[in-house]
Amino acid sequence: MTPQRDLIFPGTGHGHLPLATREAYLADLQGWVLGMCRAAAKADYSTVRLIEGLFGTGGSAASLAPWHGNGPHASIRREFQLSEQAVQILLLAAAPYLWGSLTHVYAAITRPQSCLVGVRLLTELLGDRGAVMRELCREAPLVRHGLVRVHATGAIVASSPVIARLAS
């Protein structure tokens, strides 16, 4: 039985989703991340094969659309007044913590790079370095509220509470 995708969850999204709904959300989130990775890989056949070998052929950048109003990331967006680009950065920074093997895909997209998630990867995935830089400045909500940390090495790390909210 497939869970309904148009449910509106009570509260602010801090509670846990029912198991079937959570699994559907995480599958769609993973599909969105993989769709972004496939688009960034473009004609790099070895990266596309890596993605397919690790995750299969499913998923697209449109996978997350049903959740924009009521998924866990939507409650974070509303709570911290995040732009669409900020939410995308947050989800892409959290993804390797949700699916560890995604680290291999990220590394293949940006080889060689000193950090897993950094400006270069986010620019490759989102296609707009200016937007990435704006969303990662100290005054921007992502950094100001501690949703992500930008390390001196250039690494961008999603906070543990964000990862927990996305996973629950």
pLDDT digits 0-9 by tens, 48-74: 999 999 999 887 878 898 899 989 999
Measured CA to CA, the distance from residue 31 to residue 163 in angstroms comes to 17
Say if CB 159 and CB 165 are below 8 A apart. no
Say if CB 38 and CB 96 are below 8 A apart. no
Q: Taking the alpha carbons of 139, 144, 148, 152 in that order, is the dihedral positive or negative?
A: positive
> Which range has the worst mean pLDDT, 13-17, 61-65, 70-74, 110-114?
13-17
pLDDT of residue 1: 30
Q: What is the average pLDDT across 128-146?
A: 96
Q: Identify the band that residue 114 occupies on the pLDDT scale cut at 50, 70 and 90.
A: low
pLDDT of residue 62: 83
pLDDT of residue 116: 82
Measured CA to CA, the distance from residue 69 to residue 58 in angstroms comes to 23
pLDDT exceeds cutoff 80 at 112:
no
Write out pLDDT tens, residues 24-44.
999 999 999 999 999 998 878
The DSSP-derived string for 33-54 is HHHHHHHHHTT-HHHHHHHHHH
Task: Name the residue with tokens 């560890």.
Answer: 100
Q: What is the average pLDDT across 120-148?
A: 96
**For the chain, domain boundaries:** 19-167
